[in-house]
Structure 1
């Protein structure tokens, strides 16, 4: 558990630790206009390859595959830390993403291998706690390393933690797997399906990353990328159904309503959680004039209440064996919480902020890992690896797509309201919105600017309300499946 916990921590912290270091990286490498690709290249490879690790671990075994993912991740981080130009850094981040894609899924899959389903909730809940800690620690450590040591330590810090993880896994992790020659295992890989799936995801993600930022959403290149991406995904589905002897994602899984409901739900939940993590710090930074570090600290109520919700749901599941009722309650609470977040204003006090974050975090934490338990209880134990990898994929793709959607909504509101405010240097404020609190402008202009940001953030959160509501409505259709007390068997729902 210590080794696997470190592995999950590495994967989660690497998603956020780079953010606060990006301006300094762009300045030192003299490539400020390309720094977004430092984050995007990691996200691109990590998201695209995530669904593959479940099937690959079935073919080659859990331990070899997680060791491969960990070594590739560490090699990528080492090259990132030593990079002397932006292109080397971007390529190395993509390499780290190839490894990072497998760390979260493989750690959860391994826990599922060694812990019976009726006791699994507590262990998976612990990983939810690791996610919360990493989400808070990432921006704080990134800022501290950049300010007081060097931005290179944003990447180097992964090496000692990764070394401990590597040693623990090699020495203590013993999971038997099917024997056979490497050539026989290589023949089992669905190469056509792999190409179609990765290609489709990459084209869709590139359209999301570029749309609304580098090119307008109605630009022919963005439309073409979406069309090619969805075309390849359709071809992938047809390939898996009609041609693949060892499909990467068995399509029969989607015939069962529990799996479809949980995958759709975690897609929406990914949007809500990442929206809070990325956009609430902007509220604290601009409206409350908090530093980047303090804005991260103020997210603690959200993250800690998520951890508490994870623990509570784990205890309830272990004692009662019931899952779907927890999703009902959690999604109801989360819907109320995100609704309250849309009411935050310039006049809101600390009690409002903390209270609303606690409600949304606790509700989300209650059913975040619970839905994975429902998916795993629906599938046979032999399908758990694929089910888990796909669950993490839908969460990640939801977070990625959600950030693009929320960003587009927020920018649309700002682009409508900010030009109407007289006496502001909008170019300077675009680079550092919080400087409005120290800039020599009229009090009226400052209030109008802050109100514009409050309106933009609250408007961006409004679509999350119906998403949480849809999760509740869909959860009413979840079929109860008794949790297995052994590591064999399964029951579809």
Structure 2
């Protein structure tokens, strides 16, 4: 079935085929998001088998790095060549990377294959969202973008639990092999159902220089933010790399301003709705990733939960996220209104983080779960609503580019948020630990000998497992007998300090969420009530308008 008229936001495909495409892209998105977190609980076993403790964090970093930097490039290529070939290439690369990761015999091999896997995942985030924008008109997109938010949240939160179960039962290799059958289904459905065709018969002009400089700018920024976990902001491996990346980013902006067909069209940022959505998504991601990372750690250190159990403990956050993501999509589809929802979600996120900032070592779990549920309610609509705003505010021929840039700022915002929250956590822990020990019933000489003996090493005190045994193991043999009676009091003080440090990371998130509230206030709402021509949604108007990249041969 062909489009009834050229520049309509949706592509006319029969409902059954459309449903199959949606399920396929949702599964692809699920796999890509799942692989960001599923490896975490498998890493201790992987490090033991592959002997790579010194570089183990790069199993995360390599995947996130290639997935993040390739997103904008894939988005632009999908606008030029169509969604189908880009998605098929990306799914193929993702599956090859998954298989090779499972067959790794050295840690450096795993890191390289994880980078390859991320190179495929980089297209699954933005291009899957762009396919939803192609398939449905603005009035319908809300329902499906809400599902995308739910899928993203589900995969992010259950990843650690699934990784733990697979590792404990069939082996860590199957953390990667499990992608293969599901990914094969995704590949087959995209191959069979997603329409062929390009948005234009003209030969595409690829901005090779812009793509190269974009990668050169993002790599040092993301590596610097990752290094912040183990070094200070003033360290050359942190601040130096970030500064280098920002300088190259400035060069990138200059290059793009002169490119004929840039990878990142700067004209997008003259679009008020696009710019506000990008900034709001950036700061909301800064706010959201702190509870995702620090709450499981709190459950493991303070509550003594295993890695798998800590994954289950954040199901309350997951429940709120999924519920609000799905309901928000339905509300936008029914009313055509998104600004009140985006504003309300940002406010609820700030409220949820404020509640979490009251976390203490003795906080009852049911109360903590309720705070997490409120936070999840605030997070759910954000990821879907801003995608809707961006896709409705740009020309159809730029949906892939705009969506991928939104995803890029989401990823970078999360990285910045984690680096800043980690700094807050570390400084508050160093401040609170002596204070809590001094406020306990411990004799001053025990407190002094505790730090002097080396048992007070922060790395040892914030690890998982039996904290009391770790304290005694870190103390000299001559002082263990003197220290042992006071271990329960020391552990209690450490848990109180750790809880206060964790709570302080949510203070940072509150500020970020309130910035998102302010940005949404300035958002101009354009109600979405039905099929909208590109001329009605594009602002500012751009020449040479072309139909959706899925429209070329929708009837084939």
Band the TM-score falls in, shorter-chain normalisation:
over 0.9
Contact preservation (8 Å) 1:328, 1:475? yes
- Report the Cα distance in structure 2 between the residues aligned to 1:451 and 1:140, rounded to whole angstroms: 26
- Report the Cα distance in structure 2 between the residues aligned to 1:146 and 1:351, rounded to whole angstroms: 29
Question: Who is 2:90 aligned against?
Answer: 69
Paired residues for 1:239-258 under 5 Å: 239-242=255-258, 244-258=259-273
Displacement of 1:492 after TM fit?
2.5
Greater RCO structure (CA 8 Å; 6+ sep): 2
Question: Who is 2:364 aligned against?
Answer: 349
Task: Give the secondary-structure state (helix, strand or coil) at the position aligned to 1:413.
Answer: helix
1:370 equivalenced with 2:380 (yes/no):
no
1:193 equivalenced with 2:210 (yes/no):
yes
Contact preservation (8 Å) 2:164, 2:308? yes
Question: Who is 1:88 aligned against?
Answer: 109
Question: Who is 1:234 aligned against?
Answer: 250
Displacement of 1:25 after TM fit?
1.0
In 2 relative to 1, CA 320–397 (structure 1 residues): closer, same or farther, beyond 3 Å? Answer: same
Question: Who is 1:492 aligned against?
Answer: 539
Task: Give the secondary-structure state (helix, strand or coil) at the position aligned to 1:344.
Answer: coil
Contact preservation (8 Å) 1:77, 1:158? yes
Displacement of 1:154 after TM fit?
1.0
State the TM-score, normalized to the length of structure 1: 0.94
Question: Who is 1:464 aligned against?
Answer: 509
Contact preservation (8 Å) 1:344, 1:352? no
Question: Who is 2:527 aligned against?
Answer: 482
Paired residues for 1:17-416 under 5 Å: 17-178=38-199, 184-185=203-204, 188-213=205-230, 215-242=231-258, 244-416=259-431
Contact preservation (8 Å) 2:41, 2:308? no
- Report the Cα distance in structure 1 between the residues aligned to 2:300 and 2:238, rounded to whole angstroms: 32
Shifted more, 364-373 versus 172-181: the winner is 172-181
Contact preservation (8 Å) 1:481, 1:491? no
- Report the Cα distance in structure 2 between the residues aligned to 1:51 and 1:155, rounded to whole angstroms: 25
- Report the Cα distance in structure 2 between the residues aligned to 1:212 and 1:17, rounded to whole angstroms: 20
1:429 equivalenced with 2:450 (yes/no):
no
Contact preservation (8 Å) 1:335, 1:469? yes
Q: Deviations over 1:169-198 (max 9, x none)?
A: 1112225324658xx43xx11011101111
In our comparison, the structure showing a higher alpha carbon Rg is 2
Shifted more, 73-82 versus 360-369: the winner is 360-369
Displacement of 1:427 after TM fit?
6.8
- Report the Cα distance in structure 2 between the residues aligned to 1:428 and 1:14, rounded to whole angstroms: 27
Contact preservation (8 Å) 1:115, 1:487? no
2:499 to 454, 459, 467: 454
Task: Give the secondary-structure state (helix, strand or coil) at the position aligned to 1:100.
Answer: helix
Q: Deviations over 1:190-240 (max 9, x none)?
A: 011101111100011111112351x43212343332222111111111111
Task: Give the secondary-structure state (helix, strand or coil) at the position aligned to 2:528.
Answer: coil
Task: Give the secondary-structure state (helix, strand or coil) at the position aligned to 2:466.
Answer: helix
Shifted more, 407-416 versus 288-297: the winner is 407-416
Count of residues in Structure 1 that have an aligned counterpart in Structure 2: 487
Task: Give the secondary-structure state (helix, strand or coil) at the position aligned to 1:369.
Answer: helix
Displacement of 1:18 after TM fit?
0.6
Displacement of 1:484 after TM fit?
6.0
Name the Cα RMSD after superposition: 1.9
- Structure 2: state its 5+ residue gaps: 1-21, 438-446, 473-483, 541-556
